[in-house]
Each structure stands twice: as C-alpha cells, then as structure tokens.
DNA sequence: ACAATAATTGTAGAACAATTGAAATAACAT
DNA sequence: ATGTTATTTCAATTGTTCTACAATTATTGT
C-alpha cells in the first residue's frame, strides 16, 4: 500500500454507485455477481455500471473472472486491511504513552499497547 | 454511519493533500497540530490547506479546537471504525458457512465465525 | 488604538469525473 | 452462418472539485 493506491481506493469508493457495488459484492461473498445482475439489482444502466466496475477493478477493490459471456465480479476484502494499516501506520508517533484518549484501540496498533488502550 | 456519511469520508480522503493531512494528524495523536504547522509541514499554502481542513472537518475525520489565534486540529480515528463496520455490515450475507476463502477474518464479523476464518 | 500574526472566505479559471446513447466486441444458441 | 445476449468502449455533455490570489475576520502584543 502506498499513497497512490490509497488515493485510487478512496476515489473509487467516493461514488454512490461504486460504494453500493462494493457493499453488494461484500454481501455476496465468494459467490460474487455477474455484471448484469449487479446492473439490475442496483438499477444502473449497464454502460454506466461498466464504467464504475472498471474503476473498482483498477483500484483492486474487486476482481473479475470470465464465465462464458458473463463477467463475474467479487469483492477483494483483504485490500481494505492493507488500507487501514496504511492509515494507522505510525499512529501516535509510535509512542503508546502519548495515545491517551485517542480511543482507537481496535484500529491503532500503538493504542492497543497503551495503558489506556482498550483491548 | 450511512451512505452519505461514507461517501463524504471517502471523498475527503480521495485528495492527496487531505490524505496526507489525515495521516499526519493520526501520527500526532492526541496532541494534534495547529493549521500553520500542518501548512508548513506539508508545504501547502495556508489558503489551500484551509479549504482541505474544512472538507475533512465537515466529514468528521478531524476535529478542531480554538487556542487563542490558533486552530488545533486532531484526527477522529474512531470514525474509521464506524466506516469499516458499515462496509462489512452484512459480509457474506450473514452466512459464515459461505465465507469460504473470502479471507477477511480480521475485518468481516461473519468470516471470523466461519470454520475457515482465521482468528 | 495600531500593527502583526493566524486562519478563513470569496471568486474565477483550469482540471477532472459522471452520465448518456450509439457503436463495437465477444460468446452462445439455432 | 445468423441472430441474440452480455458487456465494454467511444465521444459528447454536464456538473464538480482544485488551486491561487485578494480580501476579510479574529486574536495578540506594543
């Protein structure tokens, strides 16, 4: 994970259509969905959906696999873990004792080690 | 957390300047930073930084507190937890047995309960 | 009161993203 | 082979966001 990848991911999820696509695919888990199903479920014209699927795929947030004339899309959830790790990389400057009320034990490695960090 | 809040958060972090501000403030933890410090650290003109700080504040990603003529900004890390919970809300349709190789145990509540989910 | 410092607001032009419809590509069925 | 279905690409239009400069507000120090 780096700055450019993170930006691309955030740009991808900053669109209502793409956010709904991503959340839908997370709900569908390993099965995923083919493009047409996504289009009819979310009531987005196929041509527009294709534009958004391309953006999500380019960001790595979803994967695509061909099935005959269908394209099956699946969410890439682990990428979200990388992104969170990138954001909280050097939380509290790596000094747990300064974390105090930062209140993000569940997300910040340093806060978890802090005396006031709730595990 | 709802769709509009999530969109606003993603839009906020989709800008290189704002992403760097947010990461910088996470590193600074509870101390935070005043606007001028952020501007000089990231080498962004104050007028432009102000524009981005407003967007981040509006999204709830950072908080601001007045200190005399300074404005001290701090990251709101817990909001990130809400966002992640929103994304993974109904992961795998709530059926752990279908999670399979979804490989997101650390982030998806259902996957964590699944036989193949790694805790 | 006056000047200096910290930060924000308003405005305008440039850059970028989203949507649409028409056309193209590719796979399948008859 | 031909027609049909699934999906993507292209081009044009519209709307939004970014940046910079000038002006403004608010606080502090003399």
Q: Which nucleotide is nearest to B69 (CA to C1')?
A: D27
Closest CA in chain A for residue B91: A27
Task: Assess B6–A contact: CB distance below 8 Å, yes or no.
Answer: yes
CA atoms within 13 A on the CB side of A4: 1
Q: How far apart are CA A60 and CA A80, in angstroms?
A: 10
pLDDT digits (tens, 9 = 90+) for A6-43: 999 999 999 999 999 999 999 999 999 999 999 999 99
Cβ contact, residue pair A93, B28, below 8 Å? yes
Q: Tell me what pLDDT residue B118 has.
A: 46
Nucleotides in chain C with any atom closer than 7 Å to protein CB? 5-10, 17-23, 26-28
Band (A110; pLDDT cuts 50, 70, 90): confident
Torsion sign over Cα A8, A11, A17, A19: positive
**Range A40-66 average pLDDT:** 97
Torsion sign over Cα B36, B38, B43, B48: negative
Torsion sign over Cα A113, A117, A118, B1: negative
Tabulate helix, strand, coil % of chain A (nearest 5). 60, 10, 25
- Distance from the Cα of B105 to chain A's closest Cα (Å) equals 9
Q: Specify the pTM.
A: 0.92
Q: Which residues of B touch A97 (CB under 8 A)?
A: none
Which is nearest to B53 in space by CA: B80, B27, B30, B25? B25
Q: Which residues touch strand C (CB under 7 A)?
A: A 11, 14-18, 45, 47-48, 51-52, 55, 68-69; B 34-37, 39, 46-47, 49-51, 53-54, 64, 69-71
DSSP-assigned letter for residue A101: G
Which is nearest to A34 in space by CA: A19, A46, A20, A23? A46
Task: Assess A5–B contact: CB distance below 8 Å, yes or no.
Answer: no
Q: How far apart are CA B46 and CA B35, in angstroms?
A: 8
pLDDT digits (tens, 9 = 90+) for B25-75: 999 999 999 999 999 999 999 999 999 999 999 999 999 999 999 999 999
Q: In 10 A of CB A5, how many CB atoms?
A: 15
């Amino acid at each position: 994970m780096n700055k450019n990848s993170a930006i691309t991911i955030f740009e991808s999820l900053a669109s209502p259509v793409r956010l709904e696509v991503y959340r839908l695919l997370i709900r569908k888990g390993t099965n995923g969905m083919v493009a047409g199903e996504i289009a009819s479920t979310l009531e987005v014209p196929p041509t527009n959906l294709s534009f958004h699927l391309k953006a999500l795929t380019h960001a790595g947030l979803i994967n695509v696999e061909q099935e005959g004339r269908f394209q099956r899309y699946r969410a890439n959830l682990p990428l979200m873990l990388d992104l969170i790790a990138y954001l909280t990389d050097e939380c509290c400057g790596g000094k747990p004792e300064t974390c105090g009320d930062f209140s993000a034990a569940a997300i910040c490695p340093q806060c978890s080690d802090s005396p006031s960090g709730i595990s």
